[in-house]
Structure 1
Amino acid sequence: MKAHRILLSTLILASAVFASWQDMAKGVIDSLGSSKSSTTTSNSTQDDSMVSKALKAALDQGVNSATAQLSKEKGFLNSSVKIPLPSALQTLENTIRKAGGGQYADELIHSMNSAASKSVPKTVDIFKTAITNMSIEDATTILNGSNTATTDYFQSKTQSSLTKAIAPIVQESMKSSQVATYYKAFNDFYQTQGKELVKNSSIQGFAKSFGVDSYLPGNSQESLEEYITAKTIEGLFSYIAKEESAIRTNPQKRTTELLKEVFGK
């Protein structure tokens, strides 16, 4: 159930942020199509190879930029990718802040984003391998596929590896946060012993009186580590998508002759 939940949420989110990649890919086809003077098999093969190389180069550049930025100490504190507390904790966060405990919420949020940044370097080789292994057929499928073709390719090639690589690092990093430890301990206790207790109306009433009834867990087995892992992958995909879009629209981002030739100078 845990893996399914992470995969489902990441697939939905990644589908949106990768939509621009398909536009970029179609731009490659248009650029190549306008420069063709013949349609021989030889030229077609040559063009396909160029498209594949250019697409790989663009993706490679996007990965380099994204991982370099997000692996910085405060890389994930950028507002566009900043990881907030899980929704189940946000009501509790508001209550804590009203009671003067904002420092504790801030420290937890900072530790979550720090854990995400520390995990990013481990993702570089995973992305590079997926890009290197992209065949001409893969590139053609992406270029001619649906609006989710690029998303489907990267999900199939990197999702499992990214989750496996990031989760242990996030888990280790989060050990330094006492609040995270308390949250996990509370969640574990609830799953093993507390479900019947939570059903008690007096407990529910007590929680409601402090505005934290939504914090009481239901059937979810999600932990902070799982949440941060999913959000880290989401942030990476989002940042890479922005970089790829910039290569398509900003000539200054086309730093190699191949990119300039295919995407235009």
Structure 2
Amino acid sequence: MKHFKKISLVFILTGLFLTSCDDFLSDSGLTESEVAQGLKSALEVGTNNSVDDVSKEDGYFGNPLLRIAFPPEVSQVETFLRNAGLGAVVDEAVLGINRAAEDAATEARPIFMNAISNITIADAFSILNGNNTAATDYLVQQTRSDLFNSFRPKIENSLDKVGANSQWNSVTTSYNNLNPFSPDVETDLAGYTTDKALDGLFLKVGQEEEKIRENPSARVNDILRRVFAEQD
């Protein structure tokens, strides 16, 4: 009986979804493929704008919402070094971490584009009728793991290129030398920076999605205007 109820519920929900889709298509005059195209276009615009923003100089460091701070698990190191007059060493390390994130951000573009190209019509309707960051949530689910694996080697290289690893070594060496009776500080700087870089990138993508959903002026092509006009 329970199995029968579950099957019945699936059919009911499927029927409601299909009815909702049919109603939307009837009211809007759009085809299913146009709706899917509109969602893909929204994600392409949002992700491209986001990658462009965070990959420029100060894309992370200059944005208080995205700036990657000192690793919280070693906050005592920052406090200790600032109290010891070595705040400049900490500041250089934080700047280097953010520069590495900015340098690596373009790695996201092809991964985003691949995920967007695979969106189905069912996905498109679900995203369209979801919350204001439903498309971003979809991308997080579909791409975060791949992005981490792609970002991390680039972050590691970028940390070297911008001098962040050297700056971080200066931070930890200074702390360890001044605190000989405390355990040596070690942290996975590349992993930490990669996670925070992705958090900031998805925050930015979510902001771009909300603009497209809520602000007609952010709908920069005809298919965006046609699809999202039905949501106003």
Q: Same fold (TM over 0.5)?
A: yes
Distance (Å, rounded) in 2 between the aligned partners of 1:248 and 1:115: 31
Q: What CA distance in whole angstroms lies between the structure 1 residues aligned with 2:212 and 2:136?
A: 18
The yes-or-no answer on 1:47 pairing with 2:31 is yes
Aligned match of 2:89 in 80, 104, 113?
104
Residue of structure 1 in register with 2:7 after alignment:
none
The equivalences for 1:66-105 within 5 A come to: 66-77=50-61, 78-105=63-90
Q: Which residue of 1 aligns with 2:46?
A: 62
Shift in Å at residue 142 of structure 1?
3.5
Change in 2 beyond 3 A, CA 1:155/1:242: closer
**1:48 to partner: Cα distance:** 2.5
Measure the CA separation in 2 of the matches of 1:258 and 1:146. Answer: 20
Higher RCO structure, 1 or 2 (CA under 8 Å, sep 6+): 1
Pick one of 226, 235, 258 that aligns with 2:191.
226
* CA RMSD after TM alignment: 3.3
Give the aligned partner of residue 128 of structure 1: 113
**Cα deviations by residue, 1:11-62 (Å, 9 ceiling, x for unpaired):** xxxxxxxxxxxxxxxxxx89x739728xxxxx7xx53322211111111110
Structure 1 residues 108 and 120: alpha-carbon distance in aligned structure 2, compared to 1, 3 A threshold = same
CA distance in 2, matches of 1:60, 1:231: 22
Match of 1:179 in 2: 167
CA contact (8 A) 2:96 2:159 kept: yes
Q: Determine the C-alpha separation between the residues in 2 that align with 1:73 and 1:131.
A: 27
CA distance in 2, matches of 1:76, 1:229: 12
Provide runs of 4+ in structure 1 moved above 6 Å: 145-149, 183-186
Asked if 2 retains the 8 angstrom alpha-carbon contact of 1:184 and 1:223, the reply is no
Q: What is the aligned-residue identity percentage?
A: 34
Could you tell me whether the CA contact under 8 Å between 1:174 and 1:180 is conserved in 2? no
Contact 1:81 1:235 in 2 (8 A): yes
Residues 70, 120 of structure 1: 8 Å contact kept: yes
Does residue 223 of structure 2 align to residue 258 of structure 1?
yes
CA distance in 2, matches of 1:110, 1:155: 26
Q: Offset of 1:134 from its aligned partner?
A: 1.1
Which 5+ residue runs of structure 2 have no aligned equivalent?
1-19, 175-179
Whichever residue aligns with residue 103 of structure 1, its letter is: A
- Partners of 2:228 and 2:79 lie apart in 1 by 48
Q: Which amino acid aligns with 1:136?
A: I
TM-score w.r.t. the length of structure 2 is 0.75
Distance apart, 1:235 and its partner CA: 0.8
